[in-house]
Each structure stands twice: as C-alpha cells, then as structure tokens.
Amino acid sequence: MSFRRIAAGFAFVAFLSVAAEAQDIVRLRNGKVLSGVIAFEGDSKAGFVLRRWDTGGEIFVRWSQIPDAEAYRIRTRIASPAEAVGGQDLIDAVRIVTNQARELVGIILSEKDGNISIKTREGIQQTHKSAEIHREPVRVKESDVYLPEEMIDRRAKGVADGDFAKLVELGHFSSSIRVYAKAQEFFKRAQAVAPLDRVEEMKGLVNAMGVRIVEDNAEKALAAARKLAGEYQFDAAIAAAQKFLAEFNETSVAKANLNIVSEIENRKKDYFKDRDKVLAGDVPEVWRTVRATLISKYTTSKFTLQLAREAIAKLDEEIIAEVAKKLNASADEVARHWDQRTEKKYRTVSMKDGTWIHRGGQDGGLDYQGDGSDDLDDFKRRFGDGQDPKKKPPLGQKLETQIEWWQNASNSMRREWLECLYADSSGRVKKEKEDVIERDCGPCKGQGKIKQTRGAKQVECICHECHGCKKVLTIKYW
C-alpha cells in the first residue's frame, strides 16, 4: 500500500478502512514501531517481510527482533482469517422454506404438535409444520448456525480443568475467531495445570491475549472516530479521536495513528473551505457502499421475489436518501455528484439461469403440452373430443416457477440477480450498448427448446434453463 493512498485516505471508504490496515504494526524489542504490510515470504520460520508504508521499501524482520507476545500477536493476527474458516466444523443442518418466504437454516431442536423449533445464527426460531413448503438436509459452516461464543461453548463442553491439551486448543481456537477474552481465560486455566516446561509459554499466551484485547478495543475506538469524520460529524470525531489517543496511547494502533486529530481537523477545514469538492469525492464511494448494503438486504429470505423487485424499482431513491443522511447533504447534492462521477468502477453481473424471470420465460407449468400423439390427437387433447383425457399419460415435465426459483436460489445468486435487475433498469447507472450482453442459453443453444425422447416418443420441450427465453443476461456497468 502506498503512502500516497494513506494521504488520500479521508475519502469515505478509505477513511473507514485504515483501522483494519492499522493491524499491520510491528513493535520491536528496542521500542521502535514499524508500520506496513506483513507478508510471510521466504524463510517464515526465521521471520517475515514488512513492506513499509512510509518508504515503500521492504525489510526482513526476524522473530528474535520482537517480543514473544508481539510475535504471537502477529502470527495469530495474520493467520486468523484462514484459521477462522479452517478451524470451523462442517455440521449437518436443515434448510426450511416457509410459505411466508422465510428461510431457516439451522439445527432442529424439537418438533412437537406441528411446532418446529430450530436453532439458527439469529437465535431459536419457531415455525409450524403447516407453513413448511420445502425442507432439505444441508452441510454448513458452524458460523452459519452459531455465534462465536456458542462455537467456543460447544468445544468447551465437558473439558476438565486439568485437561491441559484441550484448554490450549480452546485458547487457540478462541483467538482464531477473535474472542480474545475467552482465549485468555483458557490460557490462564492451562497455565495453572501446565507441565513445568510449558508454564512460561502459557504466561506468554496470556499476556499476548491481553495485548490483543487492548489492541482490539483500540481499533474499535479508532474506527468509531473515523466513522464520525466520514459522516462529517467533525466535532464529535475530534472528541472521539482525542479520547482514543488518551485511553490507548500505549497501543500499536495509537502509535500508528498519532496524527489522527490533526487529520480530522484538516479534513474539517477542507470540508468547509470547499464542501462541494469534498462531496464530489465522497458521494460515489458512499453510494456504492450503500447500494451494496441495500441489495444484500433485499436478498434475504425476509423478502419475497415480488417485494425484492419492487424495492429495486425504488432503490435509487432509497440510496440517495441514505447517502444524504450519512454525509449531511441534500438529496439534490447527492444525485448531482453521483451523476457527475468520472471514476469508472465497473461491475459485471449476470442473471444466469434466472434470466427467464426478467425476460418473460414460461412461469411454471409443463415443458411439453402434448402426449406424443400425432397432430390430430394433440389437437383433440388440447380442445377435447369427449374422450377420457387419462387415456395417455402426459409427457410434459414440471417447470420451476418464479417463486420456486427465488426460494431455491442461494443468497449470492439472489444478490447478483437483483443487482443485474438494477443495472438493467436504473436510470442512474452508466453502461454502453455493448455492455448489455445476451448470450445464448447453453443447454438449448439459444433455441428455447430441446428435443428429448419421452415415452418412446421424440418431443420438443421447453428448455428448463431459460424457460423458452433463449438468452442469459449479463451487464457491465459503472
């Protein structure tokens, strides 16, 4: 990361992100503090590479040059994103869809008298068997059902106070998912029963977790101050920044952000000196952030397909109102600066196998209406001839309905579908004619129908992928 970007970091999104970047701080044994991006390259057993923010150069830092607690903090800090995923269990769960378009993913606790109690990440949810329209077994990550503290409690159940190995394992797991207070508690318990040759190691881990707790709180305080400044609440931001420096002056986060108060004050001066210019820089970034948040909101199972489409039709109005609130600006200012944006941050989205919903493909029903007879028999079947309609079994197979597609689609698929709908319909996106791409459907090769043999007859049925609309819609916009 370049120093130039740091200097420009008060654009809203960059302004918020510095708290996360501040974790790449190295405190040496001699008291010197270095800042940059840490990379484990070369001989990682000996140390690591630090790409400096201030000079742009690289230096190799040996583990022997930094305190043990700091070494552990860096190792767990850099490794924790992977560990937090890799350390999780995949668990057997169920996915239930109800007729209120609720989607419940979790562990069934009880089913009595038609009442279903299911443990989800949001807590224990209730539904009734009569409302259930779809149920399937799924394998999900632990974090899709349990909160971090609950994940720890599951592992800690039955672990005895004298089980040194398990206590250490619990401490490392708690650290990997950033529950540092729990990690410290487990390491303290492990220290009490540690073999003599590992007591000092446990003391180091306890101290390291203490450092992480304080550093974590410092990062949160810094992020809160930056958020206030990003929303142009400068006086409150300055007060929060001063409090942050006073309370966390010994942390690496504070030492890397000693100029935070002056930065916010300069930001305040720039804002009042040339407010329009500041808004021109901030509005586009905040717009994109708010847009992403709102689209994700309408992706959830709380919204039916109809409600989600209605929301997308009004999305620009909602974005403008939200951005105006965040930036203390008028709706006209927000709309003007968004429309006048010059930086082309492209996004490419596709409706994939849901294109037919937007393009008028067949909604449910059968993919073939005939019964495999000749044209005359087919005509009689359609319009009646007094014969028993059950004389020949229908050869048509059921097509998915719009509602079924929405209920069965993953959250990521729903999200991309909605964003593609927005890109196709919004008057506030920019795209060229060639950026709206309609490719032939793969299974039917753009014909809308597929020939198949059913009941010893060759029939031409509607494609189950495109539902007869022949195309897959992809849009590139900015």
H or E stretch covering 242: helix 234-247
Looking at residues 357-371, what average pLDDT do you find?
89
Output the six-digit token pair for 238: 């300055």
Looking at residues 148-173, what average pLDDT do you find?
93
pLDDT at residue 452, rounded to an integer: 87
Query: Quick check: helix, strand or coil at residue 94?
Result: strand
Q: Side chain identity at 148, as an amino acid letter?
A: P
CA 7 to chain centre: 28
User: CA 184, CA 186: separation in Å to the nearest integer?
Assistant: 5
pLDDT at residue 328, rounded to an integer: 86
pLDDT > 90 in the chain, percent: 51
Cβ contact 222:22 at 8 Å:
yes
pLDDT at residue 96, rounded to an integer: 87
Mean pLDDT highest for which of 17-26, 29-38, 62-71, 269-278?
Answer: 269-278
- On the 0-12 / 13-18 / 19+ scale of CB atoms within 10 A, 332 is exposed
pLDDT at residue 384, rounded to an integer: 59
User: Is residue 435's pLDDT more than 80?
Assistant: yes
- For the question of whether the overall pTM of this predicted structure is more than 0.75, the answer is no
User: CA 49, CA 59: separation in Å to the nearest integer?
Assistant: 6
Cα–Cα nearest to 175, from 151, 157, 141? 151
207-259 pLDDT tens trace:
888 888 998 899 999 999 998 998 889 999 999 999 999 999 988 888 888 99
Between the CA of residue 51 and those of 14, 33, 161, 450, what are the distances in Å?
A: 19, 14, 43, 57
Q: pLDDT category, 378, cuts 50, 70, 90?
A: low
User: Is residue 7's pLDDT more than 80?
Assistant: no
Residue 161: count other Cβ atoms within 10 Å of its Cβ: 10
Choice between 114 and 23, residue whose per-residue pLDDT is larger: 114
Side-chain-side CA neighbours of 301 within 13 Å: the count stands at 16
Q: What is the residue-averaged pLDDT of the chain?
A: 83
User: CA 124, CA 182: separation in Å to the nearest integer?
Assistant: 24
pLDDT at residue 26, rounded to an integer: 75
Looking at residues 136-158, what average pLDDT do you find?
91
H or E stretch covering 269: helix 260-273
User: CA 217, CA 209: separation in Å to the nearest integer?
Assistant: 12
76-119 pLDDT tens trace:
554 433 333 445 678 899 988 777 667 788 999 999 888 999 99
Looking at residues 171-193, what average pLDDT do you find?
93
User: Is residue 334's pLDDT more than 70?
Assistant: yes
Place of tokens 């592992």: 155
User: CA 239, CA 261: separation in Å to the nearest integer?
Assistant: 9
Output the six-digit token pair for 218: 């410092």
Q: pLDDT category, 156, cuts 50, 70, 90?
A: very high
Q: pLDDT category, 319, cuts 50, 70, 90?
A: very high
pLDDT at residue 371, rounded to an integer: 60
pLDDT at residue 87, rounded to an integer: 59
Residues 6+ apart with CB under 8 A from 120: 104, 105, 106, 145
pLDDT at residue 83, rounded to an integer: 39
Output the six-digit token pair for 335: 């709309």
Q: pLDDT category, 264, cuts 50, 70, 90?
A: very high
User: Is residue 168's pLDDT more than 90?
Assistant: yes
User: Is residue 193's pLDDT more than 60?
Assistant: yes
Output the six-digit token pair for 227: 């958020």
Mean pLDDT highest for which of 2-6, 87-91, 265-269, 353-357?
Answer: 353-357
| Bridge partners, 386 (sequence order) | none
Residues 6+ apart with CB under 8 A from 215: 23, 73, 251, 252, 253
Cβ contact 419:308 at 8 Å:
no
User: Is residue 12's pLDDT more than 50?
Assistant: no
